Amino acid sequence: MQNDGLLLRHLQDKRDEEHIHLIQVRTDMLWFCSAMQDLVLQIQMWLQGSGVTFFSSAILHSDPSIRLWPNSQPTYYTVSKACLKKQDRMAMLLPVAVYGISGTRGHAELILTIPGDVPARKKFMFCLSRNSSQWIIREEHQWFSGGVLLNRATFLAAIAALA
C-alpha cells in the first residue's frame, strides 16, 4: 500500500515537471517570436530612406531545437522574417532556433546574395544576449564571443554589399 502511494507521488511529480517544462518552452518560443518581430521592425526603421526595398512576413517555422518529448517531431510556430532587396542584390533575415549551443537562446541568420561577388553568398549569425533582449551579430565563421552588439552601424556595415 505504501509503495502504491510512492508510485502515485512519483507519477504526479513527473507530470508536474513535464507541465513546468512545457510552460517554459512556450514562454521561450513566445519570447523569441517577439524578439524576432522587434528585430524586423528595427531593421525596417534603420533602412528608411536608404533605397533598400524591405519586405517582412510571418512564416511557419520548423524548429529542430524544440522537441517536447524524446523522438518527437520538431515544433512549429509562426515567426517573422524579412527580405531586403536592392537591384539584383538580396538579403534574407530568417529565424533559426529558440535554443542553441551552450544554453544560448534566440538564433537567426542574415544571408546576403550578391551576384558577381566572390563569394556570392555571405552569412551573418544573430544570437540574443543571455541577460537581455539585445542581439549579437557575427560573421558565420566567427564564434559568438567574436560577435558585436547589433546596432544601426553594425547592421549597415553587415549589409554594405547591398549598397
* C-alpha cell belonging to residue 90: 538580396
* C-alpha cell belonging to residue 92: 534574407
Q: What is the pLDDT of residue 148?
A: 86
Q: What is the pLDDT of residue 65?
A: 86
Q: What is the pLDDT of residue 73?
A: 80
The Cα–Cα gap between 40 and 87 comes to 21
* C-alpha cell belonging to residue 43: 531593421
Q: What is the pLDDT of residue 24?
A: 87
Hey, which residues does 79 pair with through a beta bridge? 59
Q: What is the pLDDT of residue 7?
A: 62
The Cα–Cα gap between 34 and 30 comes to 6
Q: What is the pLDDT of residue 67?
A: 74
pTM for the full model? 0.84
How confident is the model over 80-139, as pLDDT tens digits? 999 999 999 999 999 999 987 666 788 999 999 988 877 788 999 999 876 777 899 988
Residue 42, pLDDT > 90, answer yes
* C-alpha cell belonging to residue 115: 551576384
Phi, psi of 74 (to 5 degrees): -60, 155
Between 31 and 143, where is the model more confident? 31
